Amino acid sequence: MSWDAYFDCQSWNYTHNTNDMIAAAYEAVTAERTDVYDDHLISKIIGPAWWKRLDGKTGREGAAYLAQIIKGMEADPARFRAMNPENGWGSYDSLLTVLREMRAAGEAACCDVRRWEASG
């Protein structure tokens, strides 16, 4: 399984195997917990999955949100590399590359008309 994100004619797709990494990085920066796999019961208790938080944001809002995740990941690379999936599908380094590309796309948005579309 994977998540998909779309913004301004660009798209990204990445494995759910790194959702724990994203959730931990976001929580490290914001102290807000997020659901890892979008279980509706858990989401009601601890907050929606990270991609649901991205969905519907403007380019700049999405970039700011992604920047928080990136900041958390960059603050402790060893911690997050230790969370690399055992099956080899996804990694800290390749995920960080994807998130940086997504952030850059949102930062480059010339207006707030376009919105992120994300699903998991």
Within a 10 A sphere around the Cβ of 63, how many other Cβ atoms?
21
Average pLDDT across the chain, whole number: 89
Rounded to whole angstroms, how far apart are CA atoms 17 and 91? Answer: 9
| Whether residue 98 has pLDDT greater than 70 | yes
Give the number of domains in the chain: 1
5-28 pLDDT, tens digit per residue, is 999 889 999 998 999 999 999 999
CA neighbor of 33 nearest in space, from 41, 43, 5, 117: 43
Structure tokens at 52: 């649901």
Q: Is the pLDDT of residue 48 over 90?
A: no
- The pair of three-digit structure tokens given for residue 12, joined into one six-digit string: 């990204």
Domain of 85 in residue numbering reads as: 2-119
CA 92 to CA 98: how far, in whole Å?
A: 10
pLDDT in tens, 103-112: 999 999 877 7
Q: How confident is the model at residue 94 (pLDDT cuts 50, 70, 90)?
A: very high
- Cβ atoms within 10 A of the Cβ of 109, count? 19
Could you tell me if residue 80 is left (phi over 0), alpha (psi between -120 and 50 degrees) or otherwise beta?
A: alpha
Instruction: Count the Cβ atoms, other than its own, within 10 Å of residue 119.
Output: 14
pLDDT at 42 > cutoff 80: no
Q: pTM score > 0.95 for this model?
A: no
Q: Taking a C-beta distance cutoff of 8 angstroms, is the pair 22, 48 a contact?
A: no
